[in-house]
Structure 1
Amino acid sequence: MKLIIDTDPGIDDAMAIAYAAAAPEIDLIGLTTVFGNTHVHQSSRNARFLLHMLGLDAPVAEGAACAIGQDTHAPSEHVHGPEGFGDITDIPEIGANHPKSAAEFLVDMARRHKGELVVCAVGPLTNIAQAMQLDPAFATNIKRLVIMGGAVYCPGNITPHAEANIYHDAKAADVIFAAPPETVLVGLDVTLKTLYETADFDALADQSLDMGGFLRDISRFYLKFYKEVGGLEGCGLHDSTAVIACTHEPMFETVETGLQVVTEGPETGATRPIPSRPPVRVCRDVDGAGVVHLFTERVATLP
C-alpha cells in the first residue's frame, strides 16, 4: 500500500512514522508536514531526521505554517517539548525539503498513483484542505483518507468539545467533511483505548536499541504529561493507531455518518454527526490490545 503521512512530529508522530517504516504492508512514499505539535519548520526538520534514522530515502514536503485565515500558531510545547521530541532538543538539520509545497506534492502523488494512494493525516488538516482546493480531482484520485482526529462520541482533549488536530484548523476540517474523499476517522473514541505504558517502551527499547531506544527516551516527557493531566499510566497510540487503520481495518468497528465541525465560538473544533452530509467511516471501537501488540511487534524489528 502506497502511503503518505501528513504529520507534525511530535512524539506520537515519531512512533507512527517508525511503525510505517517497519510495516511490510506499507510503502511510505513521502511525508508532508504541517504546523501543530511544533512550528512547521520544526515539523519538517524532525521528519527528515526521523527518515534518516530509519534509513528511508523519502521526500519531505513542507506545508502550512498556520490554520486557514490565521497568521500565527502556538505549538504544544507542554505536551511534546520545545522541539517536538520531549527533553531531546539537539536535533540536526539533515537534507532539504522537497521543492514543492505539501499540497502540490499531495496532488502530484495522487495523480501519479491514482486509485492506489492512501493519505494518513495525523496533524491539523490544512494541507489536505489545500490539496482539495488546488485540485478538485484530488479527492477521487486518492484511494482513501485516514484521519487521526475528532471526538465524535466522547469528550475532547484540548477542550471539553474538541480534539486537538481538528481544533487547530476547524475550518479546514469542515471543508473536508463537506465533500470528503473516502474517509476513515480515527479519533479519541478509539485511540485512548490503545494505551502504551512505560514498561511497553522499555520492552521495545530492549529489542530495538536505536529506534526503540529513541522512542523510549522521547516518551518520558509525553508520559509525564499524560500522568499529570489525565491521571493515565500510559499514552494513547493516537497517530500509530491511524496508520494501523490504513492496513488493518478488521481491528476497528466503524459507523457511517456525515460530519460537521463547529468553526467558531466556545465549541470550536467539535465534530458532530450530521446526516445531510456525505458519510465518512467513524471508528467507534478498536482491538486496543491488538493494536499495542502489533505496534511493538513491528517496531521491534527496527535496528
Structure 2
Amino acid sequence: MIPFSRFPSFFRIVRGAERAGTPRGRRRAWLPALLLALVPVAARAEPPRLVLLDDDGFGLAQWMVIASPDVRVLGITSVSGDVWQKQATAQQLRGVEIAGRTDIPVVAGATYPLLNSEALTERWEALYGKLVWKGAWMKRWVEPTEQKLPPYHGPDVVPDLPEGNPTHKAADGIAAEFLVRTVRAHPGQVSIIATGPFTNLALAQRLDPEFASLAKELVYMGGSLNPRQRLPGTAAEQFAREFSNSPRREFNIRFDPEAASIVMRAPWRRIVMVPVDPSTQTELSPALLARLSAADTPVARALRGRPTGFPLWDEIAAAVWLDPSLIRRSHAAFVDTNTQFGPGYGDILSWTPGYEPGLGEQKEQVVEEVDVPRMEAMMQRLVARPASGAPSR
C-alpha cells in the first residue's frame, strides 16, 4: 500500500475538485487526480533520452552513452576520419557486440570528405607546413611520440581488430538518409553526439534542409580556440604541440572543413561545442585505465590492454551530454570554419555575440573546462554497469 504521506498535495487537489461542479462532475474531476496520486513515482519516470551517435570509430565515449540507464541509442553512424569508414563501421559493430547491444543499428556513412582529399592535404602541407595528425591519411610522425602510429592502408582495407572482429553486419542504407529518417520520426526529441568529421551531418542537411531544425540538439567534439596544456610531463602533452603554433586547428574539423561549415550554419535548436581546449586537462593514463578495466564486465575487460596517453576528447562530449553539470566553465560564441584554401584552411572562426558577420553562423555553447574527477567517476561507474539488453520501446 502507498502511504498518502508521500503525496502531501493530494488532499488539496481533491478538495479543490470537490468545490466545483455537480456531484457527478465532482467525482469525474477528482478521480483522475486520485489515480495519478496512487501511481508510484518510479512508474511515472521520464521517458528515455533519445540520441544518435556519429563517429569515426568506437570507444569509451560510445560505451558510456550506451550504458546510461535513461538513454535510448537510436543508432550509430560511421564516417572516415581517424580511420577509414569501413574500419570505423567494423569497430562500431564490434563495440555494440561487446556491450551486448546488437539491437542498436550501425549504419555506414561517408568514405570521403566533401572536397578535401589526401592529395589536397599533401599539397597543402607542401605549401604551409606539416600537420600533426591526418587520421586515415597518416603515414608517419614528424617527430618522435609515445603513441603508436596506426598502419597506413586504403579505404577498402579493414585490418583485424584488437578486440576481435564483428560477427554481425551493418544495417542497410547510408548514414545521411538514416539520420534524416530517424530525426523525422522523433521531431524535437533526438540529440546528436558527433565525435568525428561532419561529413554525414552535412550530407543529411543538404538532403533535407529541415534536418537540423528537427533535431533536439547537436553536441560535438571538434574545433580549437586557444588551448593551454594543463598536464605537463604526460604523454597527453604531446597532443598539444600543434596548438602552440596553430591554436585554431583541430583534426575533426580540418579533415572536412566544408562539411563543418555547412553543419555550423545549419539551424539547430541548440549546439554545444566541445573543442580540444578542455581536453588538455585530461588523459587516459595507465592509472585511470586500471580503474576503468577493474570491473568484471565485458566493456571493462575490452578496455584492458588499450593504449594510454590520449586526452579524453570524445569522452568529454559524451559526459557533458549525459550530465551538463560537469561543465565548469563555458561561453556563448558564433562559430564557423575557414574554407578558403590557404594557411588557415580548416581553422575555427569565432565571434563574441554581436561581432559575427551574420552569414548564417549559429550561436553555440562553447565548453572551456569540465569537472575531471567527477567525469572520471562517471566513466568508471558506467563501465562497471552490466549489460542490460535492449531498453523497452
TM-score by length of 2: 0.67
Q: Cα RMSD between the aligned structures?
A: 2.6
Deviates more, 1:81-90 or 1:124-133: 81-90
Q: Residue 282 in 1 paired to residue 344 in 2?
A: no
Within-5 A mapping of 1:1-303: 1-9=49-57, 13-56=58-101, 57-70=103-116, 74-75=136-137, 81-82=150-151, 88-89=161-162, 91-154=164-227, 160=246, 161-181=248-268, 182-218=270-306, 220=307, 223=308, 234-252=309-327, 253-263=329-339, 264-274=341-351, 275-276=356-357, 277-302=361-386
Deviates more, 1:136-145 or 1:242-251: 242-251
Following the alignment from structure 1 to structure 2, what is the Cα–Cα distance between the partners of residues 79 and 6? Answer: 25
User: What is the total number of aligned residue pairs between the two structures?
Assistant: 287
> Between Structure 1 and Structure 2, which shows a larger proportion of strand residues?
1
2:227 and 2:277 in contact (8 A); partners too: yes
Following the alignment from structure 1 to structure 2, what is the Cα–Cα distance between the partners of residues 301 and 70? Answer: 41
- List per-residue Cα deviations over 1:206-253 (Å, max 9, x = no partner): 2145321322322x2xx2xxxxxxxxxx42221111111212112213
- Letter of the 1:145 counterpart: L
Percent identity over the alignment? Answer: 26
Unpaired runs of 5+ residues, structure 2, are 1-48, 119-134, 140-146, 229-239, 388-393
2:225 and 2:348 in contact (8 A); partners too: yes
1:194 and 1:289 in contact (8 A); partners too: no
Tell me which of the two structures has the higher relative contact order, counting C-alpha pairs closer than 8 angstroms and 6 or more residues apart: 1
Distance 1:163 1:24, change over 3 A: same
1:8 and 1:36 in contact (8 A); partners too: yes
Distance 1:7 1:256, change over 3 A: same
Following the alignment from structure 1 to structure 2, what is the Cα–Cα distance between the partners of residues 152 and 286? Answer: 16
Following the alignment from structure 2 to structure 1, what is the Cα–Cα distance between the partners of residues 149 and 207? Answer: 31
Following the alignment from structure 1 to structure 2, what is the Cα–Cα distance between the partners of residues 250 and 140? Answer: 25
TM-score by length of 1: 0.86
Distance 1:131 1:158, change over 3 A: farther
Following the alignment from structure 2 to structure 1, what is the Cα–Cα distance between the partners of residues 136 and 332? Answer: 34
Following the alignment from structure 1 to structure 2, what is the Cα–Cα distance between the partners of residues 70 and 257? Answer: 26
- The structural deviation recorded for 1:192 is 2.3
- Letter of the 1:260 counterpart: D
